[in-house]
Every structure is written in structure tokens, then in C-alpha cells.
Amino acid sequence: MASIIDGKARAQQLRQSVAEKTRELKDRTGVTPGLAVVIVGDDPASQVYVRNKGKQALEAGFESFTHTLPAETTEAALLDLVDQLNRDDRVHGILVQLPLPDHIDEQRVINRISPDKDVDGFHVENVGKLVIGADGFVPCTPLGCWMMIRESVESLSGLNAVIVGRSNIVGKPMAFLLLREHCTVTIAHSRTQALDELCRSADILVAAVGRPGIIQGDWVKPGAVVIDVGINRVTDDSGKSRLTGDVDFDGAVERAGHITPVPGGVGPMTIACLLSNTLKSATRAAGQE
Ligand code: NDP
């Protein structure tokens, strides 16, 4: 039976540590970390994320700046706002909530954010730094996964890591983080053949697909670390809606060594890592790193 990784408790610990370091930074330098979150349009899920980010930023002792723009905002107007935030010394982290409306080029907007304030780690410069092993901002979801994996195994060196999903925000950065740890990394995707066999070879298995239960319990190698990034809303037989991951948890928990639940695993770590990245940016801006 696997040990269940408590992402909620781990995230709370990280938030507390960020809050303590924030107090120290303020006392030492007078600098208060500032996080600006920009949301375009009225997607209800995005609004919930943005509210949570703002609330947790304030709880950590940060300044929080939320910019809510209408869905019909032009790309030029959004780029102007990003320029303004880049120049604003009170702002150390800028996050543009994705997805953006179709008429706006997401990558162009992300690449307009100063790489020094790109706390989401999506700017091409930070992506490049991750690939070459330089110190930049790492995307928050894979960063949280990496922390939980590191705390579950003594040494990652030489282990087989299989990441299912190759998105720019989860799968690819996860692969480079584990490569940095000297894992032998395989990235699987929708064209991968014999996914079950591949998963059975994984000492570290990360599922970031967005399909409920795609990873079956008997695909898990005994003793493996299983990180379930998937967040899927499903309706059960009684008509009740609930969140579930990409991994068949009940089957996998019997075989894995360590496993994250959904909810309560990867999810809570994401915003905590965003705060941690913003503190890192503010610490650098204050010349303390
Ligand atoms: P994307 O839709 O961008 O990527 C999904 C990936 O899964 C793609 O690479 C796709 O392959 C692959 N895939 C699809 N079907 C299969 C299949 N049958 N077999 C193998 N691979 C397949 O999703 P994201 O990376 O943005 O998110 C993945 C999941 O993680 C979602 O459930 C999302 O909600 C969740 N998530 C959770 C976060 C959190 O906890 N905070 C943050 C971000 C995401 P291909 O490239 O070939 O299409």
C-alpha cells in the first residue's frame, strides 16, 4: 500500500515558509513582494483561480494587483498593460491567466512579460534556461511535482521517469526537471504506442493528460512514485459531480510506493510555488540574492 503524499499539508508548509521569508525581506530591505494577475474575459474557472491567487498572495504578506479586463480587450491593450507592469517597481511577478480569448496571441503576450517577472516560467527565455540547466523561473505545477518527488525518494539518479503528456506548461518542463536530476526520461503523448508497457517501466510516473483514469492501476510498477496532475470533473452514477485524476487511484495505491491524490495532491502546490517564485523575484530585485 502506497504512502499518500499530502499536497495540501505540503503546500501549507511552503506558504508558511514564504510568509516568514517575506517578513524577513521586508524587515531587512523594506521591499514587499508584489504579484500582478491579469485576467481577460469572464471564464468562471479562471476567475476562481485568480481570486485564490490574490487571496493567498495577501496571506503571504504580498501586495496583490488584479487586473480584470473585458473579453473584447485588444492584444495591443493587453501588451500595453504588460509593459506598464514591467515598469512598475512594486510588481515582482506578472501572471497572465490562460487561456486568453482566441483573438489574442498567447505566446506573444507571455514573451512581452519581463523574464525577471515571469513567475509562471512560460517566457521563452525561462524555458531555455530550464532546458540548458540555468537558473530561471520554473513553471509552478511541475515545480510542485518535483518538490514532492524529491521528498519521496532519496536519490533520483538513474531512475526511469515516464511523463504522460507533453504540454508546454506541465509535461515538457517536468521532463527537463527530472532530466536535471539524472533520471532517464521518456515523454509519452497521444501517439505513443504500448503506453501500458511504458508506464510499467516507470520508477517515477507523472500523468498530465486530462483524461479520467487513463493510467490503470496495474500499469504502475510496484514501489513507483506516482504523481497525478490531471484534474477532471466527472459525474458519478448518483449524478453527483466530483474531481478525479488521470490515474485509477484505487488500483494504483495498492502498487505504488508514493502517490498523490486528486484533489489534495498536485493542485494545492501550484499556487504555493507561484508565491515562492514571486518571493524569489522580489528577493533578487532587492539585491539579496
Ligand atoms: P494539454 O491538453 O495541454 O496536454 C495533454 C497531453 O496529454 C498532450 O500532450 C496529449 O498528447 C496527451 N494525451 C492526450 N490523450 C492521450 C492519450 N490517450 N495517451 C497519452 N497521452 C495523451 O493538458 P495540460 O498539460 O494543460 O493539463 C493536463 C492535465 O493536468 C489536465 O487535466 C489539467 O486540468 C491538469 N492541470 C492541473 C494543474 C494543477 O494541478 N494545478 C495545472 C495544469 C494542468 P498530444 O500532445 O499528442 O495531443
- Percent of the chain exceeding pLDDT 70 equals 100
In a domain, 288, yes or no: no
SS (H, E, C) 4-24: ECCHHHHHHHHHHHHHHHHHH
In a domain, 150, yes or no: yes
Catalytic (active site) residue 172: no
Among 260, 189, 190, CA closest to 224: 260
Pocket of ligand 1 (CB under 6 A): 141, 164-167, 169-171, 188-192, 195, 208-211, 214, 229-232, 266-267, 270
Of 21, 56, 118, 120, catalytic:
120
The residue whose C-alpha atom lies closest to atom 30 belonging to ligand 1 is 230
The residue whose C-alpha atom lies closest to atom 31 belonging to ligand 1 is 210
Same domain, yes or no: 177 and 262: yes
**Range of the structural domain that residue 66 is part of:** 30-114
d(CA 105, CA 33): 28
Query: pLDDT digit string (tens) for 128-147?
Result: 999 999 999 999 999 999 99
Give the total number of structural domains in the chain: 2
Same domain, yes or no: 69 and 186: no
pLDDT of residue 22: 98
Same domain, yes or no: 92 and 152: no
Same domain, yes or no: 257 and 154: yes
In a domain, 238, yes or no: yes
In a domain, 66, yes or no: yes
Give 134 Cα–ligand 1 centroid separation in angstroms: 26
pLDDT of residue 45 exceeding 90: no
Average pLDDT of the residues in 196-217: 98
In a domain, 188, yes or no: yes
Q: Which three cell numbers stand for residue 173?
A: 518542463
Same domain, yes or no: 91 and 151: no
Same domain, yes or no: 145 and 232: yes
Domain CATH for 245: 3.40.50.720
pLDDT of residue 289 exceeding 90: no
pLDDT of residue 217: 98
Atom of ligand 1 at shortest distance to CA of 191? 47
Say whether 93 sits in a helix, a strand or coil. Answer: strand
Same domain, yes or no: 71 and 152: no
Same domain, yes or no: 241 and 161: yes
Which phi-psi region, left, alpha or beta, contains residue 9 (left: φ > 0; alpha: ψ -120 to 50)?
alpha
d(CA 172, CA 166): 5
Same domain, yes or no: 194 and 254: yes
Q: Which amino acid is at 183?
A: C
Same domain, yes or no: 212 and 250: yes
pLDDT of residue 212 exceeding 90: yes
Query: pLDDT digit string (tens) for 220-235?
Result: 999 999 999 999 999 9
Domain CATH for 51: 3.40.50.10860
In a domain, 275, yes or no: no
Give 88 Cα–ligand 1 centroid separation in angstroms: 34
pLDDT of residue 282 exceeding 90: yes
- Percent of the chain exceeding pLDDT 90 equals 97
Name the β-bridge partners of 8: none
pLDDT of residue 236: 87
Q: Which amino acid is at 206?
A: V
Give 12 Cα–ligand 1 centroid separation in angstroms: 26
The residue to mutate among 14, 140, 167, having the most atoms of ligand 1 within 8 angstroms of its beta carbon, is 167
Same domain, yes or no: 256 and 166: yes
In a domain, 196, yes or no: yes
Mean pLDDT computed over every residue of the chain: 97
Query: pLDDT digit string (tens) for 84-115?
Result: 999 999 999 999 999 999 999 999 999 999 99
Same domain, yes or no: 158 and 261: yes
pLDDT of residue 129: 98
In a domain, 256, yes or no: yes
The residue whose C-alpha atom lies closest to atom 22 belonging to ligand 1 is 190
pLDDT of residue 205 exceeding 90: yes
Give 217 Cα–ligand 1 centroid separation in angstroms: 19
Average pLDDT of the residues in 2-30: 98
Give 165 Cα–ligand 1 centroid separation in angstroms: 5
Atom of ligand 1 at shortest distance to CA of 211? 32
Query: pLDDT digit string (tens) for 162-193?
Result: 999 999 999 999 999 999 999 999 999 999 99
